[in-house]
Every structure is written in structure tokens, then in C-alpha cells.
Amino acid sequence: MLRTLTEDERSARASALADAKVREEEERRGGRLMAWWDGDGAARVLARDDRALLLERIAGPRTLAAMVAAGDDDEASRILCAVAGRLHVPRRGPPPELVPLSRWFEALAPAARSQGGLLAEADAAARDLLADPRDTVVLHGDIHHGNVLDAGARGWLAIDPKGLLGERTFDFVNILRNPDAATALAPAADEPAATSAGSAAEGAGCVMSPPPRPAPGVPGWRSKRPPAR
């Protein structure tokens, strides 16, 4: 016997379908970006179509989460920063379609208006930062300890990108909130608890000079960094 869905049930179903559609497009966008990186800093794509992606097998014995658990958070952070830096280097040929950070943060504004508090502060900070990007590059969008794997002789390689475009610091800041809250919030042993995210990033090697400019005519680089004084 069939029954009519309630308004709440219809709304929940519509929301679930919309979320699934967003995730599907996100996976497709990530697959196109993985192919564009062509194995440089990311797992190599062996085959793909619009619905599936076949990657090289990565079976190294080390994990960054285990490295952190063993007390070597700094080294894990350096590895993550090095991988992100490789991914930010411009390639020959235009990248696939990407989502700009301004669109990625769109959902924050209505939540800030309805909830206020910390979300409102976050929205104001995001608007301020997004209004003045410095080094705009292709972003992984989800760099963390579970998305960078030990590929043996090939080094550490990224998987599962979101496919974003924006200020490259976004990828590095994401590292600082992983692999878990206890690690992210713990002060460094030789620094006061009030250490800023910028200082922590610099200590881990995340604050670096801009990625090298491509040869003339090669797309993929746009810098708005002011000249040194």
C-alpha cells in the first residue's frame, strides 16, 4: 500500500538528491583535475570516463596520520606542504573547469545571517580575504593527511581533489586543522599556546615564495601580490 509523503519527507528527499548531484559533479571535476596534473604531485590517472576513474595503485607502507600519531607532526606537515606546492605549479595548457573560492563559500553567507555569532565572523573574514586574493592558482581544495599517500619511489601523491581556483594559501590553511582537533589545537612544544596559524605554517615550511612563473604564453598564472618595498 502506497502512502503520500509528508512535506518534511519530500523536503528531505529533495535535499538528499540535490546533495548527491553536487557530490557527483564534485567527483567528476576532481577526476578531470587529476588527469590534468598527469601524475605530477598526484596519483596518475590510468583511465577515466564521465562516471569512473582508474588510478595507479598506491601501496606504500607509511601514512601521514600514523606519522602524526608517532609524534612527527612537523614532518607530516612539511610533506603536505611540499605536495601542495607541486600541485600549485602552472602546467602547459589550460586547466579544466574549476570552482572559484568565491562560489565555494557562497553557502556561508545565509548561514551567517540566520545563525550569527562565529559564522558571522567567519563570513566577514571570508569576504575580506576573497576580495583581495594574492596568488591565484589551481587548488586541490582538500589537502589533508588522508588525501596524500605514500607512493614509494614516486614520493607522496595527492588524491581526491575538489577542483577549486583561488588564493593558494587556502590549501595550506586546510593542513593546519588536520588530522584531528586535538592535534590542530595543541600548541607547539617550543612555542606559546597563542602561536598564530601563520607562524605555525611558516614553521612547517608552508609559507613559501610564489610558484615559478610559466614560460611566456603558458596559461595558469595570475598574481596580484604587491611589489616588495
Beta-ladder partners of 13: none
| Residue type (1 letter), 216 | P
Angstrom distances, CA of residue 13 to CA of 3, 5, 10, 25, 133 = 15, 10, 5, 19, 38
**CA separation for the pair 85, 43 (Å, rounded):** 15
Q: Judge whether 212 and 82 are in contact, CB under 8 Å.
A: no
Angstrom distances, CA of residue 225 to CA of 28, 86, 125 = 32, 20, 19
Q: Which residues contact 223 (CB under 8 A, 6 or more apart)?
A: 134, 135, 136, 210
Residue tagged active-site, from 73, 123, 142, 160: 142
User: Is 73 among the residues known to form the active site?
Assistant: no
Catalytic residues: 142
